[in-house]
Amino acid sequence: MNNKKRYPKTKTNLIVDTTFILPALGINVEKEALETIKHFYGIHINYLEASILEALWKIIKIVPKNKLERVQEGIHAIKETYKQINPPPEAYIDAYKMYHDGHKDYIDNLIYSTSRRTETPLLTIDKDLINFLDKKNYPTNNILTPNKIKQEH
């Protein structure tokens, strides 16, 4: 994967990390993420099914049974509003390698690797992931942060 490759300035197609699907499920997230979601109009938002699974691990711990209808409505909204993107087989192997290089969040690794393999920019606020990528010299030209989204849209 070439680190010098540049994605077009106009970003009309993005993969989002799990943070950006949590609000639809009734889960509070950082203000920075909520503010960024307001700029999604006109952008094709993609998500991995693994993000819903990751969100549900969190939901199991914090959402009471009587609030599950909200979660179900959120899942429907995500599936109707965003587009599911499937990781190519190589992305699973790339994510495995990242895990063994030291980033122990396999779902984040898979989202990042899918972004790289499909050449679709990744929107994230995960500073741990970004720092890991920088430290281990993984390409980051596919990474977008909320500030970039706000500036461009």
Q: Spell out the domains of the chain, with CATH numbers in brackets.
A: 13-152 (3.40.50.1010)
Average pLDDT, 10 consecutive residues per value, the chain (153 residues): 47 89 94 93 95 96 94 97 98 98 98 98 97 98 89 69
How are the residues of the chain apportioned to helix, strand and coil, as percentages rounded to the nearest 5? 55, 10, 35
pLDDT at residue 2, as a whole number: 46
pLDDT at 74: 97
In the prediction, which pLDDT does 42 show? 86
Can you give the pLDDT at residue 5? 46
Helix (H) or strand (E) holding 55: helix 49-62
Tell me what pLDDT residue 153 has: 62
- Residue 17 corresponds to which amino acid? D
Does residue 5 sit in helix, strand or coil? coil
**What does the pLDDT read at residue 139?**
97
